[in-house]
Structure formats: structure tokens, C-alpha cells
Amino acid sequence: MAFTLFGRTIQKIGVIGSGNIGPDIALHFSQTLYSYGVPVVVVDIVQSALDAGSKKAESKMAKAAEKRIFKKEAADAIFKNMIFTTDYGTLSDADLVIEAAFERSDVKHKIFAQLEETCPKTAILASNSSHIPPEEIFPNIKDKTRCMVLHYFFPAERNILLEIVPLKETDPAVLEYSTKLYEFIGKAPIQVKSRFGFAINPFFEGNFLAGVLMAEKGLGTVKQIDTIIQKTLGMGVGPFTGHNLTGGNPLTQHGLSIYASVISPWFRSPKLLDDYVKTGKAWETAARGETVEYSQEVFEAVSSRIMGAFFGIACEIVESGISNIGDVDLGIDVGLVMNPPFQMMNKIGIKKSIELVEAYAKENPGFKVTEMLKKQAASGQPWKIPVVLREDKGDVAIVKIRRPKVLNALNEDVFDQLRETFTDIQKDAKIKGAILTGFGTRAFVSGADIGMLAAQKSAEEAEMACLKNYSILGLMENLGKPVVCAMNGLAFGGGNEIAMACTVRIAAKGQKVFVGQPEPKLGFIPGAGGTQRLPRLIGIEKAWPILRNSNPISSSQAKELGLIQEEVEGDLMEAAMNWIKNILAGKVNVPSIPKGPLPIPSKLPEVDIGHLSRKIDELLQKAILEGAKLTLEDGLRLEANIFGECFSTQDRKIGIDNFMQNGPKVNANFVHG
């Protein structure tokens, strides 16, 4: 068997190195591609390392089965799909090989010399390196067009971040394929230009360095500084604790010494770190459950300095040109699991942010205050953090909503950027059509961000928010150019409502849980056109139960109902492109959504709403039936008014509070009032 997608076939994957990260990289590939019959081979010259790697992978899959992440049969199949061997010859038919050996250029040179002899000339050759630029890894490879660095983050089978660092010779088609492949198998790949340490590691080491320098100055104990940095930046563990857990002191010492010449002289290995590397001691950090005491004065001294360093590092990385604001924030959020720096600056204000950076630079010679930060502060405007991305392919604009941590949930930034993006597309004469999709494969859009809904203060505010969103969806619906919605995963609530405003909807085949309008579970009705567009697209009789019982339907059911035009088995984006071409060529005629009143059947199907609020269901029925008597435009205004009316009910508060406290799996105890 083989995995064929995006114009390339993979029959076998190889991983070189069975140390700390190699088995985890292999495990992730096996978890995502075992069902395609693609074996994953781990090669190492040391048998004991292979034995340890095999045992580690087997143990992880056993735990995954215990926790019901995978069924036992699947967990067993995933492990059996992995081959641990000392024989490089097993890679003679591999299509993708990732080297994950020692972080030393000379070791990597030897490995790639052997891989170039062993693997097919079409195989992609990649190195998992946390710091070393690709130019230093692949100087001797004859065909550099197929080479790149792939920087995985710990733990490699679960952490979704992946930095992709190409050489200048890397074939753009190979780079694009690798990015699409990793997104398909569940990673969040960001493309980074070549520089020692790339875009994300300077944060890991820079935060640690800032902490060490504060300890050297006596601003607090290591334990206090570790705890305060953790709290200030929203980290899972503090930087000193992280170095204890990973044994990272020697690697950080080496990295900091190189950053000094590559980035700025502030980066250096301080004496305190040198002493700890020499003695091999662990940092004194808080034990599990221990409360660390410190004064407000100590907290403010440490917190202000770490924010100054954190924000300054973020701006230098973007100003250097190796990355961008959106990718840096995404990388820090999902890769290092801490507060994204540009979002954090927006929250405290750009004026306050530059004051912190300038104060830190004044106290720490060699630390940069970037021109981009000075210009942003002078503008008085917050940073624009892209969550809606546009890429043009010929005369088609591809628009992607990217918020992977919340499954591309909608918030005000998404709506505002959708308006800006589609306004630009409408004005762009060279663009003939657009494709709207979501990041990853789990969700097109999982719905509206619950935090945005919870923040609404009144019925009037809720109604106005609906009207604002209608104008954005109306722009898409009446763009004058075909818009194909490539529904790469589930579309709940606002996700389905955005899709319904598009010309055509297509979906990845075989989605058992695909479309739903779950708003009544949260104590309100759809507020982005669901009560008006769904009946007009598939008929009131078919829309009636979907809207009222909040149960999702599958992609095959959506196709049967006429909600989507196609279920796609292969490349979803290629299929979307074909729809655009065929519409523009007049080969297919997609009827537009009916804009006038709808006939109301004399009898509608009985619907069991179970635990759902009878009060909200009453309002929902009113929106559907009264809206059907009106034009689409007037029906939307009615929906907005009734959405606001939900605000005055007890059940809206009960539904949202329950979701915020217990998540989507616990039913709210509605009082039907």
C-alpha cells in the first residue's frame, strides 16, 4: 500500500536515530499513516538504542490504548507498523527520510552521505535539528533541491509545532508538498528562513538567559524567578524547571555563545550557567505542589524584566525577516505553550510594551530595541496578528482560517480579517474566484469562540454583533466571483453558517461528525444566518430537526440533503480548484440561494429536543417559521433580533456558564425560562 496525495506517493518512511526524539518522530508517522500501509523504519547503528526506542514506542502505545486514545487493535497495529533495524539497506525504497541523530554537523554529514547512496534519487531528505542551519548540514549533498531541516518540538508525537527550514536550493514544490503533508498528518508547520536557532528556540534560551541574569543580580532566588516567569508568560513550567527536565544546560550554553554573533551580544553564556554546566548541578526549583513565597516588589522586578526581554526577542526575530508575526505567535502558543508575545503586547498596550523593552535594553547592554517596535508604538495601533491567510494560485485566491489550538473557532479578528480579505479579492481584477478553507484536517471551523459570546453584555450588543457578521457573509455571498468552501473537517455553528454563504461547498469524504448547529446546547439560537440559510438550501422539513435537536450529521448525509455538492476522496484543494474552473467555464451551473420567502409545509417532522431548553426552542421555531415568510435579508434581521432576545433568558446564562466550566460533553441543566 501507499499514501498518495498532493501529487506525490509515499510508500515508506525512514527515521535515522533511535535516541531521545527519533522514536517519537517515527511513532507520529506510524499513528497517522499506518492505515495507508506505509511502514516506518527506524535505523540506528547501536542495537541497544534500537531496543530502547522500540520499548519506548510500545509503552507509549500501550498507554494510549489504556486511555482509549486508540483502540487496542489500532495501538497494536501502529506499533507493529514500526521497524527498528541497523540495516540502512531497508531505506532503499524510502520516499521520505528524517535524520534525528546527534546535534553535530560531522555526524549528520556522514549520515546523509550514506542516505544519498542508499535512498532513491526522488526521496526527500530532512534533518531534525533544533539549531544548525541547513547550509551546514547539507554542504556535500549533490542534489540539494530535495533537502531541508524539519525542527520537531518535544514531545514529537504530540507537540504539533514544526519549523520547516529550506535551503536556498530547496525545490519550492518539495517545500510546498512537505508543508501540506505535515498539515495533513496533524502538525502546525511554519516555514522559517535559515538562521542558527531558527525562529522559536531563541525564546526558549532567551527567557532562560533573562532568568539567569536576574539571579546573578540578586533580584530573587532561582526558585522565585522560575515561578514568576512561569506565571508572567503563562508557561507550563518555568525556564529553570524546563532545563532540569531536559538536561538542557550544556546545549543552551553552546547555543547562547553562537547567538551572540548571530543575533546580538546580549546573548551569551553567563557565569552562573557556566558554573552549573561545570558541576552538573540541577537548578533549585519548586517541588510539585510547593508554594513559592515572594514579595510584590520581587514579582514586579522579575515580571517587568522578563516581559521586556520576551517582547524584544519577538520583535528582533520578525524584523530579521526569518519569520512573521502570525507564525511567531502560533509557534510560541502551540510549540512552547506560553502566551504569544504579540497578543500579549496588544493586551497590555504597545506603549507599555516598548517602555518595558527600552528599560530592559538600558539595563542590559547589547539588547536590541527594534525599529519595527518603535514604529508600532509611534502609530498607537495594536499589532495585526494574521489568523486569516491568503495565498494566490494563478487567478484563484486561497483563504485559510488558521487557529489550530481552538479548531479555527471564529472570533472578532477572524470576522474582521475575512471582511478585509474578501474586500481585497473583490477589488482584485486578476482574481477570478476564491477558495475558503480551514487549517488542518480536524475542523473547517468549530464554531464561534465561546469567549467572544460570553463577553457580550446586552441583547442590543448581541444583536449588533449578528448584523455585523451578516454583512461579512453577505460580502462573500455576493462577491461577484465564485467562492468554493473546501470543508477540510467539521463545521459547527458559525462554521456551517460561513460555508452556507459560499457558492459551493465540498467536503473531505468519510466524516462521521461533520455539520451541526449546536447553539441550543449553549442556550441560544444560531446567529450567523443558520435559521435562514439552512432552510433555503435544503428545505424547511430537512433543516427542522438539524436546527432544533443540535445533533451533527455526517458528510454523506450532508451530500444526500444537498447541503454540500461533493464528497472528495483525494486532494480537497485540487477538487476546489476544479470547481472554480468549471464554474468559470460554464460547465456547471450552481443555483444561488433563494432570496425570497419560502413555502411553509402544513406539517413538520416531530423533533425530540431532549434536555434542551424549551424556551430557546420556542424562540428558534419562531426564527425559522417567521423568517421563512420574509426575504432572506429581512429574515436575517429577524434572526438577529431573536438572538438578542435569547440574552434575556435564564437558559442562555446557564448554557454558556456550563460550557465555560464543564466543556461541551456535560449537558446544561436548563430551567426552560
Phi-psi region of 334 (alpha: psi -120 to 50; beta: other; left: phi over 0): alpha
Q: SS3 sequence, 275-329?
A: HHHHHCCCCCCCCCCCCCCCCHHHHHHHHHHHHHHHHHHHHHHHHCCCCCHHHHH
Q: Which of 116, 157, 477, 497 is catalytic?
A: 497
Residue 219 and residue 156 in contact, taking contact as beta carbons nearer than 8 Å: no
Q: Which of 519, 566, 639, 645 is catalytic?
A: 519
Residue 163's φ and ψ, nearest 5 degrees, are: -90, 125
Cα separation, 296 vs 260, whole angstroms? 33
Angle, helices 371-379 vs 350-363, to 10°: value is: 150
**Three-class secondary structure of residue 124 per DSSP:** strand
The residue whose grid cell reads 554573533 is 261
DSSP assigned state of 448: B
Confirm whether 497 is a catalytic residue. yes
Confirm whether 519 is a catalytic residue. yes
Q: Which of 642, 643, 624, 616 is nearest to 542 (CA)?
A: 624
DSSP element (H, E) containing 11: none
CB-count exposure of residue 19 (10 Å: 0-12, 13-18, 19+)? middle
- The DSSP secondary structure of 244-280, one letter per residue, reads HHHT-HHHHHHHHHHHHHHT-TT----HHHHHHHHHT
Q: Which of 423, 369, 338 is nearest to 161 (CA)?
A: 338
Residue 286 and residue 313 in contact, taking contact as beta carbons nearer than 8 Å: no
Torsion of CA 576, 580, 586, 589, to 10 degrees: 60
DSSP element (H, E) containing 400: strand 396-401
Cα separation, 256 vs 268, whole angstroms? 5
Q: Which of 547, 325, 530, 528 is nearest to 410 (CA)?
A: 528
Q: Which three cell numbers stand for residue 121?
A: 534519487
Residue 107 and residue 79 in contact, taking contact as beta carbons nearer than 8 Å: no
DSSP assigned state of 610: T
Taking the alpha carbons at both ends of the chain, their separation in whole angstroms is 57
C-alpha torsion sign, points 345, 349, 350, 352: negative
Q: Parallel, antiparallel, or unpaired: how do β-strands 147-152 and 161-166 relate? A: antiparallel
Residues noted as catalytic: 497, 519
